[in-house]
Structure 1
C-alpha cells in the first residue's frame, strides 16, 4: 500500500508545483512584446549615404523611372511621374494614382508620402526630404538587375528582389539559347527606335530590351552598332545610313506618333532583315523602362517574335 501511495503523493506535489509556476511564465510572456527587436524604420545605404526610411512604407511617391520595380515588390504607390503615368504597361496598377513632379510640392504634401524615390537630377531634393525620406538614384550607375536589388533593399524586400533576379536570369538565358539555336550563333540583332523625328540605334544597356537581348540572351550586335553605340549607349543616325547598322534581325521600338515615313523608302525596303520579315515592332511607349514588369513583358515579346511561341 505504501509503495502505491508514495508515487501518488510525489505526482500530486509535482502537479501543484507546476500549476503554481504557470502564472509566472505567463507574466514573463506578457512582458516580452511579440515584435521585440523590430523597428518601424531601417537604415538604407543610399548612393548619398545612410538614410532612415520606413521598414514597411505605405505611401510611396516615385519621381523617376523605378515605378515597375516598386509595383513588382508590392509597395503601395500614391504618386508617380508623367512617364510612368502614361506608360501603358502600368495602366492597371496606376489607374488611381496621382501624377506628380519634382515641382508639385503642394500636391506631394497632400498625398502624405512616407517615402519618396527620385532621380539624382530631380529638382527640390532638399524640400522633398523635408516632406518624407527621399532616396535618389543615378540612372545607369548600376546594371538593371542590381538596381532592382537596391529597390528591394530600400523597401525592406531584398529577398523577394533577389528571388526574382535569380529566376529571371535563368529564364532569359534559356530563351537566348533556344533563339540562338534557331537563328544561328552568328546572327546579329539591331535595336532601333523612332522618336519624334529622330532615329536611334542602341547598345547593350539602354532599355528597349537591349539588356535582355545582348546581356542575358547573348545575341550578337552588328559591328557598326558596336562601334557607334556601345560606349555611349545609343547613337542618332539618319534613315539613309540605317542599312549599315541593320543586323539580320531588327527590333523596332516604335511610337505611334513618331515619324516612321522612312519605312516606305526603297532604302529601308531593301534591307535584308526587312525583306526576310525579320523586323519585330515593339510598342515604344514604355520600352524605355528596365523594371521587372517591363522586362517580363519584353521577354514574352522576344520569345514570341523569334520563336513564334
Structure 2
C-alpha cells in the first residue's frame, strides 16, 4: 500500500511539474512574442524614418538635373541663405555675409559660418544639400560631399528666386503664398507713393564702400527690385543709360549729382569711408538739400529675400509716405 501511495505521489508531482513548465514556457513565449513585436515595431519605425530621409527628387538645376533629398534636413547655404531661412529651412551652415546681416539676428542659433574655401568645415556639418553661387570656388569638390545646387545671381527675379528655393527645400507652396501676398502689398504701396510724390518723380540708389561710389539699376538688391520692378517708381535717365544693363555703375565724385534722382536711397557702409558725405558735392544735391535721402545699412540690404524685402517695404513706406 505504501508503494502504491508513493507511486501515486510521484506521478502527481511529475504532472504538476509538467504543468508548471508548460505555464512558464507559455509565459516566456508570450514575453518573447511581445518583445519580438516591439522590436519589429521599432525596426519598422526606424525603417520608415530612414526611407523618408533617403527619398529623393530630380531637380532641374542650372547645370542640369540633380538628385536631391525630397525634404533636406541639413542644408549648407553659401548662396540664398536668407531665402532658405525665410522659409524656416533646416540650415546648418551659411556664408559670412548672411551671418553678419543684422536682419538675421535671432534666426541663426546653432548655425555655423562656412565658406567655399573651407571644405573641411562643410564636411563636419554633414550636409545633405549644399546651395552655392556660380561664382564660388571648389564647386566640383562640394558636389562630392553632398548634392550641390548652383545658383547664378540675377538669372531669376527676386520673386521667382524665392519660389525656386521653395521647390528645393520642399516648401514651394509657402513660397508661392508669400510671393502673391507680397507682390500685392508692394504694388499697392507703390501706387500710394506715386500718388504722393508724383508719377514723374525719380529715385536713385547709391552705395559707398572704402574706395568707390556706385549707383544701381533695377536688379542689384539694395531695394532696387522693390523700388523699380514692383513699386514702379521712376529711375533717372542717366542711371538707365549707365547702370540698367550691368546692374550697377561705378561713379566718380564729380559726376554723382548727374545720377541723383528727386529722392535718394543711400546704402551706407558703416565700415566704409564716409567722408564724402561731408563734402559740398554731396550736400548740394537737391535730394540732400531737401532732406529726401533714406540711409540704410549696407549689411542689411545686400539680399533680395523675403526677410530683407519685408524690412525694405516697411522702410520705404515710412520714408515716402510718413515724411
Query: What range describes the TM-score normalised by the shorter chain of this pair?
Result: 0.7 to 0.9
1:201 matches 2:215:
yes
Alpha-carbon distance between aligned partners in 1 of 2:127 and 2:48, rounded to the nearest angstrom: 28
- SS at 1:185's partner residue? coil
For residues 28-81 of structure 1, what are the alpha-carbon distances to aligned partners after superposition, in whole Å with 9 as ceiling and x for unaligned?
Answer: xxxxx999x9872211111111111111111110112x1111011111111111
Alpha-carbon distance between aligned partners in 1 of 2:265 and 2:304, rounded to the nearest angstrom: 16
Picking from 70, 95, 100, the partner of 1:81 is 95
Alpha-carbon distance between aligned partners in 2 of 1:267 and 1:112, rounded to the nearest angstrom: 53
- SS at 1:208's partner residue? coil
Partner of 2:57 in structure 1?
A: 42
1:133 matches 2:147:
yes
- Give the Å deviation of 1:95: 3.9
Partner of 1:14 in structure 2?
A: none
Picking from 52, 61, 82, the partner of 2:76 is 61
* Residues 226-241 of structure 1 mapped to structure 2, 5 A cutoff: 226-241=240-255
- Give the Å deviation of 1:247: 0.7
Partner of 2:270 in structure 1?
A: 256
Partner of 1:116 in structure 2?
A: 130
Task: From the CA coordinates, give the structure whose radius of gyration is larger.
Answer: 2
Aligned length in residues: 277
TM-score by length of 1: 0.85
Partner of 1:305 in structure 2?
A: 319
1:155 matches 2:174:
no
Alpha-carbon distance between aligned partners in 1 of 2:137 and 2:228, rounded to the nearest angstrom: 34
For residues 201-246 of structure 1, what are the alpha-carbon distances to aligned partners after superposition, in whole Å with 9 as ceiling and x for unaligned?
Answer: 0001111000000011100011111111111110011222211111
Q: Which 5+ residue runs of structure 2 have no aligned equivalent? A: 1-46
Alpha-carbon distance between aligned partners in 2 of 1:167 and 1:224, rounded to the nearest angstrom: 33
Partner of 1:26 in structure 2?
A: none
- SS at 2:196's partner residue? helix
Alpha-carbon distance between aligned partners in 2 of 1:283 and 1:175, rounded to the nearest angstrom: 22
- Give the Å deviation of 1:258: 1.2
Alpha-carbon distance between aligned partners in 2 of 1:129 and 1:269, rounded to the nearest angstrom: 51
Alpha-carbon distance between aligned partners in 2 of 1:34 and 1:170, rounded to the nearest angstrom: 41
Partner of 1:225 in structure 2?
A: 239
* Residues 25-36 of structure 1 mapped to structure 2, 5 A cutoff: none
Picking from 289, 293, 302, the partner of 1:275 is 289
Q: Which aligned runs of 4 or more in structure 1 are off by greater than 4 angstroms?
A: none
Q: Root-mean-square deviation (CA), in Å?
A: 2.1
Alpha-carbon distance between aligned partners in 2 of 1:104 and 1:236, rounded to the nearest angstrom: 31
- SS at 1:239's partner residue? coil
For residues 253-280 of structure 1, what are the alpha-carbon distances to aligned partners after superposition, in whole Å with 9 as ceiling and x for unaligned?
Answer: 0011211212212222121111110011
1:165 matches 2:183:
no
Q: Which 5+ residue runs of structure 1 have no aligned equivalent? A: 1-32
Q: Which protein has the bigger helix share? A: 2
- SS at 1:201's partner residue? strand
* Residues 183-202 of structure 1 mapped to structure 2, 5 A cutoff: 183-202=197-216
